[in-house]
Chains A and B, each alone.
Chain A
Amino acid sequence: EVQLVESGGGLVKPGGSLRLSCAASGFTFSSYSMNWVRQAPGKGLEWVSSISSSSSYIYYADSVKGRFTISRDNAKNSLYLQMNSLRAEDTAVYYCARDQMATNYFDYWGQGTLVTVSS
């Protein structure tokens, strides 16, 4: 069974940093591109970042470019999101999501981790 479990969320002050993690199991992690998708409270879904299976291709939404860094460790079956210079508008539930093989839609999602940016 495919499982994606996020961790690392919490309360952080504006300008602060946080690192999210996503532990994957139930599939060959090193074969799949992975993503972060976020959802602000009461709002819709927003794609944040993608990373290919071997980390060769990395993409970011304009809203986080230059502040967030996606990475992965295939040996540990883990995905990460380093978030710096956090703003109030980054407050959201952050989901880890898997790309269906060789496509760009999300076939499995984690349960999400809440990031709150507030003074």
Chain B
Amino acid sequence: DIQMTQSPSTLSASVGDRVTITCRASQSISSWLAWYQQKPGKAPKLLIYKASSLESGVPSRFSGSGSGTEFTLTISSLQPDDFATYYCQQYNSYSRTFGGGTKVEIK
């Protein structure tokens, strides 16, 4: 199975900060990567698919980049609603796998 490693596991930031989360795959997954946001007690929400495509309705401050084995999720200006946990997910193979998650906390 393809392993996904996210870093950092926790991130402390302030409103207005630029935030970057990294996701690394154990082998090349081309651009078959999605990002999700999850708030406590809620289901995950799709933010980005195919590494850099923004899901409809998602604010443009979210962006994704990368290909192969290295990917990033960037929030250009952190808003109060963005404090949550973020997961990457590869879908290069039928056995999809998630990263361990990055919790974005208020500094």
Residues in A lying within 8 Å of B, measured CB to CB: 44-47, 50, 57, 59, 61-62, 95, 100, 103-107, 109-112
Contacts and interface: CB of A to CB of B under 8 A. Distances in A.
A93 to B, nearest CB: 9
Interface residues of B, number: 23
Contact of A105 (B34, B38, B42, B43): B34
B71 interface: no
B20 interface: no
B79 to A, nearest CB: 22
Given A106-B34, A107-B55, A47 B95 contact: yes
A57 to B, nearest CB: 8
A61 B38 CA distance: 22
Given A103-B91, A104-B91, A46 B44 contact: no
Contact of A112 (B36, B43, B91, B97): B43
Nearest to A99: B91
Given A106-B34, A109-B45, 19 more contacts: A44-B99, A44-B101, A45-B36, A45-B38, A46-B98, A47-B95, A47-B98, A50-B96, A59-B95, A61-B95, A62-B1, A95-B43, A103-B91, A105-B34, A105-B91, A106-B44, A107-B55, A109-B44, A111-B42
B100 interface: yes
B44 A45 contact: yes
B83 interface: no
A50, A106, A110, A111 pick with most chain B CB within 10 angstroms = A106
B40 to A, nearest CB: 10
Interface string B5-34: 000000000000000000000000000101
Contacts of A103: 49, 91
B94 A50 contact: yes
Contacts of A107: 46, 49, 55
Contact of B94 (A44, A104, A105): A104
Contacts of B94: 50, 57, 59, 104
